[in-house]
Structure formats: C-alpha cells, structure tokens
A and B are shown apart, each in its own frame.
Chain A
Amino acid sequence: MDDSQKYPGLLGEPRKVGYVWLVYLLLYAVAIPWYWPEGYVGSLVLGFPLWVAVTLGTVFLLASWTAWVIHRYWQQAGEDD
C-alpha cells in the first residue's frame, strides 16, 4: 500500500522537504546561546541583553518560517471548509 492510500488526501508534508529542516537547524543554532562567552551580557536592545534579543528575534524568524512551511508544504486534498 503506498502513502496516498494509507494517508488519504495527504498530498505533501514538511517532513519530506530537506531544506526546510536545514533552515530549522540553522535558526535553532542561532536561537540557542551556545556561542556567547560565558558571562556575556552585551548592550541592551529594547531592554533585553544582546544575547537575549538575538534569541527572541530568532524565535520570531522561526515562527514566521513555520507559518510559511505549514502553508506551503502541508498539502491536503479537499481541505476547503
């Protein structure tokens, strides 16, 4: 039985698109603060220490990327209400 029979109407899914996950990997690598020197604070950006501001900005990018990926790559036949 192929996937279209097992999962009726499923025309596309994000999991199968390689570059989607590469972008996720890159964004997570920026969001997680492993690369700052220990004890780093930096200047304040909108009240947040720089390392926090970078993480929060990257989470916004991750959320935007996710919204686009869901729209573009999760395809279900006859999904109109």
Chain B
Amino acid sequence: MGEGLVFGPGALVVVGLYLVSMIGVGWVGRQKRQSDSMADFYLAGRSLGLAVLFLTLYATQYSGNTLFGYTGKTYRIGFEWTVSVVFMFSVIVGYMLFAPRLVALARKEGFITPGDYISYRFASPALTLLSTVLMIYALCNYTLAQLKAMGAAVEGITDGAVPGAYGIIALAVIMVVYETLGGMRSVAWTDVIQGVVLLLGFGILAFLIPIKLGGGLENIVAKLGAMDPPKVQAPSLEGANKWISYVFLLGCGAAIYPQAIQRLYSSRSVKVLKRSLAIMAFMPLTTTLVALICGLTAAVVLPDLSKVESDQVLARLCALVMSESVLGYWLVVVVFAAALAALMSTADSALLSISSMLTKDIYLPYFHPDATEAELTKFGKISSWGIVIVLVLVAIGTEATLVRLLELKFEVLIQVGPCFFLGLYWPRLTAGTALLGMLCGLAVALGLTLAGHPLVWGFHAGVLGLFVNAAVCAVGTLLKPAPTD
C-alpha cells in the first residue's frame, strides 16, 4: 500500500461536522459571556472547573508535535526518544516550583497575562516588554509549528493529493473564528471536545498501530534491534546529558508557556488546579509513550524514509491501517480527528495568549492607555486575525522539520524563567539584574545556535543560556548589599 488514503464521503462528512461543531461551541461560548472584560474574554472569568481545566491543560500541552514530531523523532533515533516521556512529565514539576505563589498572587492582583506578574514584581517596563516580546516570539514559533503540522497532516493523509497550504488556511480560519467568538471560554470548551477526541485517538493508536501493523511490541523491538541496533540501545553519556538538558528545557520552558500560565489563572479554585495538575502528571504515560511506540513501529514497517518524510510517518501508518478493513478505516477517521484536535487545541490557545499579551502588555501601555475593557477586547479579536494571516503566510512559505522548530522556541522562552522561578522566591532580585541575566542568557543561547552549536556536550544552547542567566541573577544579587531591615 502506500498509495495514500482518500476519505470517502461519509468520513469527510464526519470530519466536517466535527470541525463545524468547533464553531458551534465557540458560538455557545460567546453566548455565555458575563461581560466585555478582558478577564472574561481571556480567562473565562476565572471559572474553569476540574473537567474543563484538566482537558484544556491536556489538549493544550499535547500538541501536533506530540503526534507528528515525536513519532518522526522516534522513527529517526529510536528508544532514545523515551526522554520525551520524562520531559513531558517534568513540566508538572516546573509548575510546582512556582505555581502556588503565582496563583495566590494572581487571584489577589487580578493578573491576565504573565507580563502582569512581571510588571507587578519588578516594576520595570523594559523587563516586562522584553519578556513579553520573547514570549510572543516563542508562541508565534509554536503556532507556526502547529500550522505546518496541519499542512503535513493533510498532505500525509492524502499522500500529497491535497497541498498542505489548503489545509493550513482552512483549519486556521476555523480556529480563529471560534477563538474570537468567545475567547478562553470557547477555546477551553472546544479543548474539552478536542481533549476527549485526543485521548480516544491515542487509545486507538496504542492498540492499532503496534499490534495490527507491527505484530506486537516485542516483535517490533526484536526486528528493530536486528535492522538498526542503536535504536534500541541505551544512550551514551553525552546522550544522557541530552536527557538532562531536555528536562531543563521543557521543565522550565513549557511550564512558563503563557497559555499554560493563563490556565493557572483561569481555574475556579486552587483545589481544582491541584487536582488537574496531579492528573496531568500521569498523562505522558498515556500520550507521549504511545507516540513513541508508533514511531518505533514505523521504523520497522516503513524503513528508509527521509528526515522530512519521517515527520509524516503517523499519517503513513494510518494509511496502511485504513486500507485493510472497514473498521480500520473508521478508526483512522477518529485518529485523524484526534490529530486535528491536537493541532488546533494547541494553536488556538497559543493564539489567544499572543492576542492577550499584544493587547494588555503592548497596546494598552504604549498605544492606548485610556482604552476601555471593551475596546481592548475588540483590539484583541482584531489582532488575532492579523496574527493568523501573518503566521499562515510564513507557514506556507518555509520548510523545516517540526522538532527543530520546537527546540528553537524553548531556547528563547526559558530565558524568561528566572523571573518566575527566582523572582517569586528571592525578594532581593532586582529588575536590572533580571534584565541583565535575560540578555546574557539570550546572547549565549542565540550565539551558540547561530554559530552552529545548538548542542554542547549534549546540552541545548538555550539550557546553557539559562544557566548563565541564573548565574548572573545570583551573582548580581549577592554582590548587592543586603537590605538593612
């Protein structure tokens, strides 16, 4: 097989209804709005309960990269990508290092964006602006990765018959429509549907791919060990360094994703948030691990694909399953819906977050300080359309593999980390020192990357930048005289 899979009319209707239902949910979210305030639009009025909060955290954290990038990466490097299970878990440890204080503070001060916290804590427009710009850059890159994966999904599922650009445009429009209709309420409610579909999709993949195509995990590992031994072997010491680096990169980076922080702000209560995070701690074992197993299966069933082709192995595996039976066909329809869910739920959350930061942290202080809440919300909606148009154009016009895009955004984003991880616990850390640390961290991260050294002894350039950043914060603070009281 390998001729690709073409959905019949029935499957197209199901997928179409699924996508239209997203807009319907967005409309319901709009009807349920309590006011035209930013807190209502961007944080759903801080009203998210356990089921909605957990599923929106889940659907947002597990993105198109999990399905496509991680299966592709496993295809290329084998079991060494088990590190993805470890680093996705580490995001929750990252939350535990700062969320209790940040959430208490956010509820007291009414924060909307991460920039609100930085502004409150450091009272430095320069630090707030730089942090916001870095976070927007990282999120644009993240959204871009999702858009490109949408194109890859459509192209893979049709074996190139439908150009990726059409898929990107259609899905981006649907996403921005429901996002601008009801803001966080619409995004979180669509995330509920998308999260359930995603869980269902991973459940199906866990059984379908390794058993149906690979003859069981033991068989897959035995074949892979014979075909390409390094893919089943324990990593070298430098490889282990890379694992440690990934733990820092994701544990610090993904935990301070603006859309993740805004979900911490949006919870109805701390109790709800605690329960959601406790459940999230187990999700890598039901999600990332499944992507790993699918990637291993592909390495056995579809050997010798190029690097770019390997980011489409999941779609190719689905094509194989789909051709074998009617049941397989419909199961793949669910998996395809799950893939769309993973991409859209992550991209819509990032988009909403970018819009909130542009509005609250840049437009309000620098362009329209007297704006009313309704005016700001309106600007936020317009800016969402603008961002999507720009990102779609970039996504259609560039080429890169998905995982590299993911790494590059974290290189930049984690330089904001010390503002949270140190700023909440170290009253003596000043804005000037934090700003200097951030600039030094950025210089190291970008300098090494641009010089062609994205990894040094297995450590990512961004992580080395973070170490320098934290060291500058520590030394700069300790060199200053302690407060006399």
Contacts of B284 in A (CB 8 A): 59, 63
Contacts of A63 in B (CB 8 A): 89, 92, 281-282, 284-285
* Size of the chain B interface, CB-CB below 8 angstroms: 50
Which residue from A14, A33, A71 sits with its C-beta under 8 Å from B100?
A: A14
* Cβ contact within 8 Å between A39 and B217: no
Which residue from B100, B225, B234 sits with its C-beta under 8 Å from A51?
A: B234
Q: Is the interface of B mostly helix, strand, loop or mixed?
A: helix
Task: Please judge, given known A-B contacts A41-B225, A49-B221, A76-B104, whether A28 and B247 are in contact too, CB under 8 Å.
Answer: yes
Task: Please judge, given known A-B contacts A7-B104, A32-B240, whether A59 and B285 are in contact too, CB under 8 Å.
Answer: yes
Contacts of A31 in B (CB 8 A): 86
CB of B324 within 8 Å of the partner chain: no
How many Å lie between the Cα of A51 and that of B79 in the bound state?
Answer: 10
* Cβ contact within 8 Å between B104 and A8: yes
CB of B34 within 8 Å of the partner chain: no
* Cβ contact within 8 Å between B268 and A33: no
- Tell which of B8-16, B157-165, B255-263, B271-279 binds the partner: B271-279
How many Å lie between the Cα of A28 and that of B245 in the bound state?
Answer: 13
Contacts of A33 in B (CB 8 A): 234-235, 240, 243
Nearest neighbor of A47 in chain B, beta-carbon distance: B217
CB of B205 within 8 Å of the partner chain: no
How many Å lie between the Cα of A81 and that of B383 in the bound state?
Answer: 35
A28 to chain B, nearest CB (A): 7
* Cβ contact within 8 Å between A37 and B100: no
* Cβ contact within 8 Å between A7 and B105: yes
* Cβ contact within 8 Å between B277 and A47: no
Contacts of A51 in B (CB 8 A): 234
B7 to chain A, nearest CB (A): 32
Contacts of A69 in B (CB 8 A): 96
Nearest neighbor of A49 in chain B, beta-carbon distance: B232
8 Å CB contacts to A: which residues of B270-329? 270-272, 274, 277-279, 281-282, 284-285, 289
CB of B207 within 8 Å of the partner chain: no
* Cβ contact within 8 Å between A15 and B425: yes
How many Å lie between the Cα of A69 and that of B100 in the bound state?
Answer: 12
* Cβ contact within 8 Å between B104 and A10: yes
* Cβ contact within 8 Å between B105 and A40: no
* Cβ contact within 8 Å between B233 and A40: yes
How many Å lie between the Cα of A62 and that of B278 in the bound state?
Answer: 11
What is the 8 Å Cβ interface bit string for chain A, positions 16-34, against chain B (1 contact, 0 not)? Answer: 0000000010001001111
How many Å lie between the Cα of A74 and that of B101 in the bound state?
Answer: 10
How many Å lie between the Cα of A51 and that of B247 in the bound state?
Answer: 18
Identify which of B100, B101, B218, B272 gathers the most chain A CB atoms within 10 Å of its CB: B100
Contacts of B233 in A (CB 8 A): 38-41, 49
CB of B108 within 8 Å of the partner chain: yes
How many Å lie between the Cα of A33 and that of B271 in the bound state?
Answer: 35
CB of B93 within 8 Å of the partner chain: yes
Task: Please judge, given known A-B contacts A33-B235, A38-B237, A56-B82, whether A79 and B270 are in contact too, CB under 8 Å.
Answer: yes
* Cβ contact within 8 Å between B217 and A32: no
Task: Please judge, given known A-B contacts A8-B108, A36-B234, whether A59 and B425 are in contact too, CB under 8 Å.
Answer: no
What is the 8 Å Cβ interface bit string for chain B, positions 214-229, against chain A (1 contact, 0 not)? Answer: 0011101100010001
How many Å lie between the Cα of A37 and that of B218 in the bound state?
Answer: 22
* Cβ contact within 8 Å between A59 and B104: no
Nearest neighbor of B421 in chain A, beta-carbon distance: A15
CB of B97 within 8 Å of the partner chain: yes
How many Å lie between the Cα of A40 and that of B479 in the bound state?
Answer: 47
How many Å lie between the Cα of A59 and that of B218 in the bound state?
Answer: 21
How many Å lie between the Cα of A48 and that of B296 in the bound state?
Answer: 11
Nearest neighbor of A3 in chain B, beta-carbon distance: B101
* Cβ contact within 8 Å between B108 and A59: no
* Cβ contact within 8 Å between B285 and A41: no
How many Å lie between the Cα of A15 and that of B243 in the bound state?
Answer: 23
What is the 8 Å Cβ interface bit string for chain A, positions 29-73, against chain B (1 contact, 0 not)? Answer: 001111011111100101111011001100110110011011100
Contacts of A24 in B (CB 8 A): 93
Task: A41-B232, A62-B89, A70-B277 are known; give 17 further A-B pairs, CB within 8 A.
Answer: A8-B108, A10-B100, A15-B96, A32-B244, A38-B235, A38-B237, A41-B229, A44-B218, A47-B218, A49-B233, A52-B79, A56-B285, A67-B282, A76-B103, A80-B271, A81-B268, A81-B269
6 A-B residue pairs with CB within 8 Å = A10-B100, A38-B237, A41-B229, A60-B282, A66-B96, A76-B271
Chain B residues within CB distance 8 Å of chain A:
79, 82, 85-86, 89, 92-93, 96-98, 100-101, 103-105, 107-108, 216-218, 220-221, 225, 229-230, 232-237, 240, 243-244, 247, 268-272, 274, 277-279, 281-282, 284-285, 289, 425
Give 7 closest A-B pairs by Cβ, nearest first: A47-B217, A34-B240, A36-B234, A7-B104, A76-B270, A13-B100, A67-B278
